[in-house]
Structure 1
Amino acid sequence: MTGFARVDGHGDGYSWTFEAKSVNGRSLDLRCRLPSGFDSVEAVARAELPKRLARGNVNLTLTVNRAQAVSQLRINRELLAQVLELAREIEGAGAAPPRLDSLLAVRGIIEPVEEDETESRERVESALKADLAKLIDQLVVNRLAEGARIAEVLNGHLDEIARLVDAASACASTQPEALREKLRAQVATILGSFPALSEDRLAQEAAILIGKADVREELDRLRAHIQAARDLMAEGGAIGRRYDFLCQEFNREANTLCSKSADVELTRIGLSLKASIEQLREQVQNIE
């Protein structure tokens, strides 16, 4: 869910910079910081972003600068005609003809033109919305690139979990014959201390102990979870929530394996398994 994007643009006397930062989040949360008067751009962002992203805290910032406007000038021809008419009357009375700079210096002959910004502002907002689309595209690409790197890390953790499951399966204490030998020794000790116990009762207790100590079911489920995790990653899309739930199931089986273990080696493997699962879960928090 981590990503960054930046787009710069300019037009009609304006320049702007879009920035978007995305970090981990349980759901999609968009926070916008835009200059006053650009509410339509924020509306587009809130409409378009959920179409491309499912999770993450996204901060969108827009900075707009406007160049100093250059005023345009125009000649007030009606007033100029009146001034020229008066000049001709004065000239007829023997006065010298007025100079051009004197005529233009008459107040009101040259006046500034107030620019109509409506059309210009519409073009700027249209350009901003186009750049916003580019920004979202760039953010999605950057998040996908980050996701590809995390996928390599996740696969590494899954490989390590698979290796530990195989090691637990190969551990002698997980084999039924090893459990039976251990129970035979325990039964012989019990019979020596309590000879009155019936063999049927001892057989029942032995069966219960074997069932409680057998971790093959947990190992089978762990293998199934590993395959489910690989299938999720191959599926693509927004898999973060389901992957996080799967990590909880991983942890549940590892806890059960450790609680059943009566062997130092199996316990050591179980603890390493829990550590690898926790590392996997931490990375899963970074994906959508």
Structure 2
Amino acid sequence: MPVYSMTGYATGQSQPEPVAGSPAAPTAALGLEIRSVNSRFLDLSFRLSDELRPSEPALRELVSARLKRGKVEIRGWIEGRQEQALRMPSPAELQRLAGLQEHIRAWLPQAREWSVAEVMGALSRHAPPPAGLADELAALARRVLDDFTASRAREGARLADMLLDRVAQLRALAQQAQPLVPQLVEMQRQRFLERWHEALGGAQADAGSQAAQDRALAEAAAYAMRIDVAEELTRLQSHLEEIERLLRQGGEVGKRLDFLIQELHREANTLGSKSSSLELTRISVDMKVLIEQMREQVQNLE
């Protein structure tokens, strides 16, 4: 199953089939455009022409069944309205407009008479929607949604590749840090013993000094435990494995990946705070840079 980005775009047009014997046979083309950006939840907004507004509930249901997250804008329109405006008006329509004009001029004598263009424009704005428009719009919406989903899948694949590359880099940094842990522990142990011998000033190790030396070794061991980052590296490796598994699995992984990125950042911070060498500090900083890059891209995944 692919990983989907919340960023996508698709557009399409459809020419409705004319209905035989219908004076309002459609000559205009339907147009539909879908675009989206990232959002924590599914946020739909519609910008439809007047003829298409009755189809908004059906479109909302159709889109909600296919998308789970993202700020999505759906724009629909009818093109080629000028051809429809050239239809021959019926006598009843012209009589109704003439009566309306006489009524207006009875109250507003200074009002000018309508031009032919204005009459045809008024008739086209109030023309009934073409027969079968809702079905044509639903078919177009399904086709555009397929293209839209494909565009989100392509973008999601690029994001997944980038995230897997960062996972590999983080693994490499963790492998660099792994051999430093016992070295740092032993280094601190030797440092405690050297300071202890310096404090004794070369005195013989009697029973009292031996007890003090044991105490110094115990303090060294306690300090070594405080700077030991083996647990952090183990948890970091576990989080990386889970991130890779989710990316390979695909589907709606955005929220789970966002949580794992937070855990990665926590381990990298702890690694830096426990660091007692410049090399381990550098590794921690490099890790946090990579994790921040991952956090920015994970925000775009569904």
TM-score if structure 1 supplies the norm length? Answer: 0.78
| Secondary structure of the structure 2 residue equivalent to 1:71 | coil
The 1-side partners of 2:48 and 2:199 are apart by 80
Structure 2 stretches lacking a partner, 5+ long: 1-5, 17-25, 92-122, 203-207
Look up the equivalent residue of 1:71 and give its one-letter code.
Answer: M
Distance 1:189-1:239 versus aligned 2 partners, 3 A rule:
farther
Could you say if the C-alpha distance between residues 69 and 175 of structure 1 is closer, same or farther in structure 2, counting changes exceeding 3 Å? same
- The one-letter amino acid paired with 1:139 is F
Map residues 1-288 of structure 1 onto 2, 5 A cutoff. Answer: 1-11=6-16, 12-65=26-79, 66=81, 67=83, 68-71=85-88, 121-171=130-180, 176-192=185-201, 198-288=212-302
Contact 2:52–2:77 (CA under 8 A) maintained in structure 1: no
Larger Rg: 1
Q: Is the 8 A contact 1:243 1:284 kept in 2?
A: yes
* Offset, 1:52: 1.3
Distance 1:278 1:186, change over 3 A: farther
Over aligned residues, Cα RMSD in angstroms? 2.6
Return closer, same or farther for 1:258/1:265 CA change in 2, 3 Å cut-off. same
Q: What one-letter code is carried by the residue in structure 2 that aligns with 1:6?
A: T
Give the conservation status (yes or no) of the 8 Å contact 1:2–1:24.
yes
Normalized per residue, which structure has more strand?
Answer: 1
* CA positional deviation for 1:54: 1.2
Partner SS for 2:40: coil
Taking only the aligned residue pairs, the percentage that are identical comes to 35
Alignment deviations for residues 20-45 of structure 1 (CA, whole Å, 9 cap, x no partner): 11111111111110012423321122
For these two proteins, the number of residue pairs brought into alignment is 247
Helix, strand or coil at the partner of 2:130: helix
Distance 1:284 1:135 in 2: 25
Query: 1:13, 1:69 within 8 Å by CA — same for their partners in 2?
Result: no
In the other structure, the counterpart of 1:110 is none
Gaps of 5+ in 1: 75-113
Structure 1 pair 172–203 and aligned structure 2 pair: CA distance change class (3 A): closer
Which protein has greater RCO, CA pairs closer than 8 Å, 6+ apart?
2
- Does the aligned pair in 1 maintain the 2:10–2:33 contact within 8 Å? yes
Shift of 1:241: 0.7
Per-residue CA deviation, residues 155-210 of structure 1 (Å, 9 max, x unaligned), is 111111111111111336655433432332343345559x9783343233222101
